Structure 1
Amino acid sequence: MPLSDDEKTVLARLYLKVGRAERRNRLLDAYYEGEQRVEQLGLAIPPELRRFLTIVAWPGTYVDALAERITLEGFELPDETESDADLWRIWQANALDRESKLAHLEALKFGQAFIVVGAGDADSPDAPSPDGGDEDRSREAATPLITVESSNEMAVELSPRTRQPVAAAKFYTEDGVAHATLYQPNVTVWLERRNATWVEVDRDEHELGVVPVVPLTNRAQLSRRHGRSAMARIIGLTDAAARALTNAQIATEALAVPQRYVVGAQPDDFKDKDGNVLTAWEAYFGAVWALKNPEAKIGSLSAADLANFSGIVNHYAALVSGVTGLPMRYLGQATTNPPSAEGILADESRLIKQVEDFEVGAEAAWERVQEIGVRIRDGEWDPRMKQLETKWRSAATPTRAQAADAAVKLVSAGILPVEAAWEDMGYSPARRAKLKALRDAERAADPVLEIARSLPSQPAAAPVEPADAVAG
């Protein structure tokens, strides 16, 4: 069936949003990669001096420092004490260990990324059959398909009341043909571009009730729900540092060594004995010192002091550090002494807090993704998913010895069980299960130790009173 007028209008609005985002993202990506052009810096550099252009990649350093600390480790349902194995199976079946990292990086770079949830392949090996056999696999039982998408290809419209998507669309090109997918609460439509018109190819009336697209947003604000790039506030400082470094490069080439000058020389002074004109280097180091004119003068200009450029770049680095919370060592500024473990933690406190704030928004997005995925798989909404909790790896960078020492103290004091200490140490659910099995096997091999551990502790013996005191 052809698209309705409302669907055409929504698709056109989303197409314009994707186009605007793509143009904005092209510039942001150049700053992330350290490939911003001269025109973006406002420099009028002659073509012969363009090779001296020097770019600093501080925006990319900042984004990477945040993204490297964001790692999702599992999901917990309200009635469980361990990560839910079934939800983690869905996560790993969609390679989200890797793909989630790409989504987080995309959101930090451009302000927003998207996660799409759909029905999995009913013939997938991960899709169990209702009777436990290998045949008659049902569509509802298949593992949901979860993909991450770029804001270069996808856009959403949010409800002004619920802040949830009411429509979304993805635009992409495959084999030279433009394609689009329109997501609505109860239907998904696949389209192709033919003769400058979107033509419907397929339609799925899934009656899900929600748009199966979840935005993953960085620094959302009440007035800017689509988020903002983490690099936005340091682009101006990056341009200023690049200008200073480019000027330093040109000054180094022209003024870093003493310059010599000659007054009163004749053209023949720059020719060899056969009358051939000397090259620049030969003239500079050779015959230029033997001049025919006795009144000619030779002198030199002292080299320029370029230390001021270093001070300027250091100043901009300090400003970037103040804006972002990046430690100065991340910006290439060496410190006199290597920082201690406590110093590192204090130095990175703002960076850690920024990661934790990002994880608050990402947590809501991934929990919504799992909720929709379970609904697609089971055919009904699971009320427990409303209380789903996401577990993240610590954003701090403690040493292995620090983490182990803290775990030993907490377990010895009875504050944490051993299993919780394993989790704090960063072991994966599979690794924790294996450690538990090894510990159980070790206990089974030593029944005396197991019995001793199960016995209550003996109370201290009462002091024996003197006989005369008893008699009295």
Structure 2
Amino acid sequence: MTAPVLRTQLSDDERTLISRLNAKLSKTSPKDNLNEAYFEGEHRLKQIGIAVPPELQMFELVVNWNRMYLLEIARRQKIKSLMMPGGKKKQNRALQEGYEVNNLSAEVPLLNVDTMIFGRCFGTVGTNADDPDHPRIAFESPRQMSCLIDHGRRRMDAAFRQFLTEDGQRVGTLLLPDKTIQVVAGRRGWEIDQVGGDDDIDEHELGRVPVVLFLNRRRLARWNGSTEMADLIPLVDAAARALTNLQIAVETHSVPQKWVLGMSKGDFVDKNGQPIPVWQAYYTAIWANQAKPNEVKVGQFSPSDLKNFHDTTNHYAALASSVTGLPFRFFGQNTANPAAEGAIRADESRLISNAEDKNESQGVGIGWLMALYERFRTGQWPAGNRAIRVEWRNPATPTKAEEADFIQKLNGGVPVLSREGSWDEMGWDDPRKDRERQYFKEEDQDPLLERLTRPLNNGNGDDRAADSIG
């Protein structure tokens, strides 16, 4: 990499790029705001065209199946290891170190969730002034970043990230194939940020924009993706309407209405002729008829059966289960007897397949992000200019006993895993494996531990190996 170049003004081409990228971000902003509101459960009934009287707005209820669905998939997206392309199928230490330094174990789940919410997300790599040996990897919200794609070459031409600082200043970063420019919004538009000094322009000369675009439900010739909630949103709206009506019905129709024969409202007055408040019932009025004043009767109607609301909501839940692949029990439809392991796996087959597809797509993007990391770290692209291989954990609900029994039966009871392989199946990461290796090493070096772990019989009937420690 060459030394940073000091420059005070953006070129006309750079200003044009920022203007185009700003316009693209503004165009997608309304839809992004709507998708975020649905994920957060903040999209209220009054926003979907239903006239709810002010006195009944307290009964508005949104059932947030959107967040439940997305988070259930995200929980099943856990990275197991990172491996160099074409090398041994073993986790690469340098990649793992970069993964940990950049706290990606906590950031990748956020990437996965935001990609499903908005249909797209971004990952960036850049130099790290605080730690030059470990380039900075960051995931960026699509609400703050946009990019331009060359459809012919299937590559990114430029990307622009912007946000507001705590004091309200708009700052941004223009990312180009050979340089990254830090800018700030001023009176005359965007200008190169002079506060950063030598870090304002980074001439990295990568030959490509150091940004990876993550897309959800990508389609050919489309580079926007679509939200994972698209099919679920109409059902969430319908369920919200049913539940809001249910709450109103609970307060009005589930309480029996009263009726009176032979009396009128004028009969309910005090000694001063003022109306008595008890004439008004809860949410409704007493029904009265004074046709026969000499035959006063008081009674009540039968309360309404609200079962139709329950059935309607359950019907929407069944439809939501069908479009998402979530088991119906995830919507609160539980049976008395818990499902067996095999039944759980079969019940979650569509959910598992969906998570596997997401892992495949996200894994390609993360692999290229780690390849960029290696390019910044070493100055060289990985072998063959290929992406880093990402291995994911099994997204299925663990059924270890069933799986182990199945493997043992296939192999006639013969062990098929080494000690290290068993650790992999147990889900241990490399630090945990290193600690266990150290324990074995200490046991080999400690005579006392060696005697404790030695077999009690040497095979010749000689039990001297089992001498007491004392």
TM-score normalised according to structure 1 size? 0.84
Q: In 2 relative to 1, CA 270–337 (structure 1 residues): closer, same or farther, beyond 3 Å?
A: same
Aligned length: 433
Alignment match of 1:151 (pick from 137, 142, 151): 142
Within-5 A mapping of 1:124-273: 124=131, 139=132, 142-174=133-165, 175-195=167-187, 197-201=189-193, 202-267=200-265, 269-273=267-271
| Paired position in structure 2 for 1:59 | 66
Gaps of 5+ in 1: 125-138, 453-472
Query: 1:270·1:288 contact (CA, 8 Å) conserved in 2?
Result: no
| Paired position in structure 1 for 2:351 | 351
Cα separation, 2, equivalents of 1:327 and 1:288? 47
Within-5 A mapping of 1:436-447: 436-442=437-443, 446=450
Q: Letter of the 1:416 partner, please give it.
A: L
Cα separation, 2, equivalents of 1:336 and 1:282? 44
Query: 2:371·2:387 contact (CA, 8 Å) conserved in 1?
Result: no
* Residues 1:393 and 2:385 are matched in the alignment: no
Cα separation, 1, equivalents of 2:357 and 2:287? 68
Query: 2:83·2:92 contact (CA, 8 Å) conserved in 1?
Result: yes
1:70-112 deviations in Å (ceiling 9; x for gaps): 1112211233342111101001101111011111111011111
Cα separation, 2, equivalents of 1:288 and 1:365? 68
Within-5 A mapping of 1:287-436: 293-383=293-383, 386=386, 388-399=388-399, 401-402=401-402, 413-436=414-437
| Paired position in structure 2 for 1:114 | 122
| Paired position in structure 2 for 1:20 | 27
Gaps of 5+ in 2: 1-7, 194-199, 457-470
Query: 1:33·1:60 contact (CA, 8 Å) conserved in 2?
Result: yes
Alignment match of 2:101 (pick from 76, 93, 101): 93
**Secondary structure at 1:190 match in 2:** strand
Q: In 2 relative to 1, CA 12–409 (structure 1 residues): closer, same or farther, beyond 3 Å?
A: farther
**Secondary structure at 2:228 match in 1:** coil
Within-5 A mapping of 1:277-296: 277-280=275-278, 293-296=293-296
Structure 1 vs Structure 2: percent identity of aligned residues? 37
1:131-185 deviations in Å (ceiling 9; x for gaps): xxxxxxxx4xx20100111000001112213322221000111121111211000
Query: 2:368·2:388 contact (CA, 8 Å) conserved in 1?
Result: no
Cα separation, 2, equivalents of 1:288 and 1:81? 80
Report the Cα offset of residue 277 of structure 1: 3.5
| Paired position in structure 2 for 1:48 | 55
Report the Cα offset of residue 41 of structure 1: 3.0
Cα separation, 2, equivalents of 1:60 and 1:86? 35
**Secondary structure at 2:183 match in 1:** strand
TM-score normalised according to structure 2 size? 0.84
**Secondary structure at 2:232 match in 1:** helix
Cα separation, 1, equivalents of 2:17 and 2:122? 18
Q: Letter of the 1:421 partner, please give it.
A: S
**Secondary structure at 2:231 match in 1:** helix
Alpha-carbon RMSD across the aligned residues, in angstroms, is 2.9
Q: In 2 relative to 1, CA 167–409 (structure 1 residues): closer, same or farther, beyond 3 Å?
A: farther
Q: In 2 relative to 1, CA 302–216 (structure 1 residues): closer, same or farther, beyond 3 Å?
A: same
Query: 2:36·2:117 contact (CA, 8 Å) conserved in 1?
Result: yes
**Secondary structure at 2:177 match in 1:** coil
Report the Cα offset of residue 22 of structure 1: 2.5
